[in-house]
Chain A
Amino acid sequence: MATTQTLTPAMERQRNARLRRGLLYLVLIAIGLAAPFVAYPVFLMKVLCFALFACAFNLLLGYAGLLSFGHAAFLATGGYVTGYLLASYPGLTPELGILAGTLAAVVLGTLFGALAIRRQGIYFAMVTLALAQLVFFVFVQSPFTGGEDGLHGVPRGELFGLISLRSNLAMYYFVFAVFLIGFAIIQRTVHSPYGQVLKAIRENEPRAVSLGYNVDAYKLLAFVLSAGLAGLAGSTKTVVFQLASLTDAHWHMSGEVILMTLLGGVGTLFGPLVGAGLVVSLQTQLAQSPLGNWVSVILGLIFVLCVLSFRSGIVGEIAKSVRKNFK
């Protein structure tokens, strides 16, 4: 009782906000746990993998202000490395395969990042695109990826050598756990002092430099984190679908993740999740309907609509209206 009295109104508001956020997380986790009993688990896993991919991309674009147009390279690298290892070494457990895929993406991210962060704006985007195309052609030509045919027959295996992931339900909870870990890393990063510096760089880079921050190191770390998490998403996706294909490495995929992030709300934590959910559901639903050939056109129209009328994305707009009406 004594402590409550000493709280200033501002502190109290902050505490309430934190409580509300905690409650929101709990509700979302409960929904996530119950979801596979309502919807098709494989579809949900696809949403979660792409959501993690979009969240990783959002960390870079939304919080560091870096628009990478080559994130498909990390998704595919994670996927191919995991797929290759799990398919060629049957004794390997899936979590080790995923770890290896993620590490490979981290290494690639360090290389790309070190080169790309030297440039800004459109040049940064072009450098990442060029490097990703390079990786794409490596994957087309390398025998281990199977080229156009893709890499097939990746076993789901047994988690820690104990839990069989053959059932979709077991696989779902594993993917959900992976997603939560990835999301927690991003949430922690964004709300840490490091995240504050990233935002400062995004808003005004020369100012951050003049304050004495080593801007390049901050940007590189953000790039590597984002690449690693994208690799984690790709690796997990490969284990779920038991195959890795060139679709993941194609520049369309880099475009798709931008679409997901912008649609959901760039620079918001939940935006990419909503965006990924929307894009994946649309693709799945439209593919089964007579409009199947029009998927790209419809997504394009939605994108145009989004940019014209609600520029901060779905979650961004909701957050804005909450701030306006409930303060």
Chain B
Amino acid sequence: MTFLRKTLASGIALAATAMMATGAQAEISDNAVRIGYLADMSGTYRDLAGPGGLVALEMAVEDFGGSVNGAPIEVFSADDRNSADVGANTVRGWFDQENVDLVAGLVASSVTIAVTNVLKEHNGLGIVSGSAASSITNEHCTPNHIHWVYDTYPLANGTAKAVVEQGGDSWFLLTADYAFGHALEGDVIKVVEDSGGTIVGKIRHPFPTNDFSSYILQAQGSGAKIIGLANAGADTVNAITTASQFGVVQGGQQLAGLLIFLSDVHAMGLEATQGLLLTTGWYWDMDDEAREWAERYYERTERMPTMVQAGIYSSTMHYLKAMEEVGTDDPMTVKTRMAGTPVNDFFSRNGRIREDGRMVHDMYLAQVKSPDESTGEWDVYEILATIPAEEAYRPLSESQCDLVQN
């Protein structure tokens, strides 16, 4: 009798646990998928992600059908003003008050690193599309975020290597003084020295800076063949504009923009930027699939998408598909499924998410067209070479990430 009762009791307990387990797995918490979009909506990095990134995110949600297994998808956004504390506090509020499932966007690297700490603490999930610092999936890696579009390692590996090979072997670096600039500077120095070049000098400028005259003067005085710009967005635009006013190129020096977005080239015009070498994760005119999506984006915004905006669409789609397949919004379950599925869409071919959170995919070395070659306002790049995914990104054997077993 006791035996029977015991078996019965344990049987019921077992069934109950099993039910609870499946119940927890096959459910989307509070019957809604909530995606928070955090980006610089008003400052230095507005054009490369900003409101356009939110449009891309909303397009992904619409194309997916607006709901996952019957649970509606809600999208909300906030401006981080490129400030780490504003960003981290906003995301903390999203977890405490809004029950956010995915944090998307994430542009300035300093904000991203602060936010990933909050993601880890609340066991959430974030997809980083805008940030560049390779440290985000190196020393700052967490199980709770994925880095999608590009990082400073392929930028250095693509642009800096190509420039040195073309004979630009002495460099002066102008660096934005925060996480992204530091990471890019480190990666570029390594690549330049490994390819046989030398760094003759470097200087760091505050982020953001409007007046680059004193920095450009120092760069001119250094006598380096190449002035490497390890900054981004409006900072790069300002630096290049100042350099052209000071006659840097006429003086025999060359500029190497290490992180140039489509929006920057568009802002400066082909006259000022022609011939510039750059590395990009995606270009709207690179093939039919990319063009088709870009045209749809253009209809809404009257601008062609940058690689970041395309990456936001691609990553959100991948996330929603994975969630539909596993039927839960549990961050780790969804992430595991995302990592187990190759990323094949208009953005990437056979992209895959590594254990350090890096989504590795092919990168492209491009050159800015001259005004004569260009056939339209947005026809600005010529793709020179494809950098295969395995070569483009930092190999796991060099990783300092805790999640990678070396």
Contact = CB atoms under 8 A, between A and B. Distances in A.
Given A243-B114, A293-B42, A287 B78 contact: yes
B177 A148 contact: yes
Given A148-B206, A149-B179, A288 B78 contact: yes
B42 A292 contact: yes
A245 interface: yes
Contacts of B85: 150, 241, 243, 245, 247
B96 A168 contact: yes
Interface centre among A148, A153, A247 (most CB of B within 10 A): A148
A37 B47 CA distance: 41
B37 to A, nearest CB: 13
B88 interface: yes
B114 A42 contact: no
Nearest to A248: B85
B93 A245 contact: no
Interface residues of B, number: 27
B178 interface: yes
B225 to A, nearest CB: 29
B132 interface: no
Interface string A126-157: 00000000000000100000011110110000
B42 A247 contact: no
Interface string A283-304: 0000110001100000000000
Contacts of A152: 84, 88, 113-114, 117
B202 interface: no
Contact of A140 (B93, B110, B206): B206
B79 A149 contact: no
A242 interface: yes
Contacts of B41: 292-293
B406 interface: no
Interface in B70-101: 78-79, 83-86, 88-90, 92-93, 96-97
A149 B206 contact: no
B88 A241 contact: yes
Given A150-B110, A247-B83, A42 B179 contact: no
Given A243-B114, A288-B78, A292-B79, A148 B207 contact: yes
B8 to A, nearest CB: 39
A149 B97 contact: no
Contacts of B96: 40-42, 168
A40 B97 contact: yes
Contacts of B42: 292-293
Interface in B91-142: 92-93, 96-97, 109-110, 113-114, 117-118, 121
Contacts of B179: 148-149
Contacts of A287: 78-79, 86, 90
A316 to B, nearest CB: 31
Interface string A232-248: 00000000011101010
A247 B117 CA distance: 19
Contacts of A43: 93
Given A40-B97, A42-B89, A287-B79, A148 B110 contact: yes
A40 B93 contact: yes
Contacts of A42: 89, 92-93, 96
B83 A242 contact: no
Given A148-B178, A152-B84, A242-B117, 4 more contacts: A42-B93, A147-B178, A241-B88, A245-B114
Interface of B: 41-42, 78-79, 83-86, 88-90, 92-93, 96-97, 109-110, 113-114, 117-118, 121, 177-179, 206-207
25 contacts: A41-B96, A42-B96, A46-B89, A140-B206, A148-B110, A148-B177, A148-B207, A149-B84, A149-B109, A149-B110, A149-B113, A149-B179, A150-B110, A150-B114, A152-B113, A168-B96, A242-B88, A242-B117, A243-B117, A245-B84, A287-B90, A292-B41, A292-B42, A293-B42, A293-B79
